[in-house]
Structure 1
Amino acid sequence: MTVFVDIGSLDDIPRQGARLVKTAQDCIAVFRTADDRVFALDDRCPHKGGPLSEGIVHGTAVTCPLHNWVFDLNTGQAQGADQGQVRTHAVRVSQGRVLIDAGLIRSRNAA
């Protein structure tokens, strides 16, 4: 069973935009579509490492800002002739709050 943690209000993410969530492992891009669905993907394009959180959201896809690769927000799969995939993460909205898989939010060990 997946445990979720609150990362903020849905209103904190612009429609057809994204917010960056820094985790102990990496950065996650949390996207909001025009119809208020949310998706979470790793923030790095597999092509050249572009920040997907700065990309253009259209429908249920995001276009990388560096080289225009397009990724399906449901699957993380590159579309068209591009080949590659971005890892997706469990995310949902409850009572206007965005919740993400708590397994992504782990405290770092002290050095």
Structure 2
Amino acid sequence: MIVQTRLGPLSEIPVGEARAYAVDGDMIAVFRLRDGSLRAVSALCPHAGGPIADGLADLRQVVCPLHQHAFDLATGRSTTGQPSLTVYPVTVDDNGQVIVGTPV
């Protein structure tokens, strides 16, 4: 079962940036990519707890700002040999609110 949580207005995430949100004890990074699409992944790098939302992202991957480990934003898989990030479904509702799905 997936629980949907409203995080706030899409306008709080500038295009090309990300924001981290606390959701039921987990930290989730939501990226608003340069093409306008959204991706949501665990906000902490599994290597050393780096802030994934502060990493450099393109349309495909994010690079952790601490030790440059890279992760695919669609699958969460590391391209540098680290454990994967968790990927979360993310959408925007009719009121412009970002909604993320988390498993129960």
Q: Structure 1-normalised TM-score? A: 0.81
Question: Which residues in structure 2 correspond to 1:35-74 (within 5 Å)?
Answer: 35-74=35-74
* Aligned-pair CA distance for 1:5: 2.8
2:53 counterpart SS class: helix
Query: 1:45 touches 1:64 (CA, 8 Å); kept in 2?
Result: yes
The yes-or-no answer on 1:7 pairing with 2:10 is no
* Aligned-pair CA distance for 1:94: 2.5
Q: Which runs of 4+ in 1 moved over 6 A?
A: none
Question: Which residues in structure 2 correspond to 1:1-111 (within 5 Å)?
Answer: 2-79=2-79, 81-95=80-94, 96-101=96-101
1:82 counterpart SS class: coil
Query: 1:33 touches 1:60 (CA, 8 Å); kept in 2?
Result: no
* Aligned-pair CA distance for 1:4: 2.2
Query: 1:16 touches 1:56 (CA, 8 Å); kept in 2?
Result: no
1:74 counterpart SS class: coil
Judged with a 3 Å threshold, the aligned counterparts in structure 2 of structure 1 residues 5 and 26 are, in CA distance, closer, same or farther, namely closer
C-alpha separation in 2, matches of 1:3 and 1:43: 18
C-alpha separation in 2, matches of 1:29 and 1:6: 14
Structure index of larger Rg: 1
* Aligned-pair CA distance for 1:10: 1.5
Q: Structure 2-normalised TM-score? A: 0.86
Letter in 1 for 2:100: I
- Quick check: which one's strand share is greater? 2
State the partner residue of 1:109: none
Judged with a 3 Å threshold, the aligned counterparts in structure 2 of structure 1 residues 24 and 5 are, in CA distance, closer, same or farther, namely closer
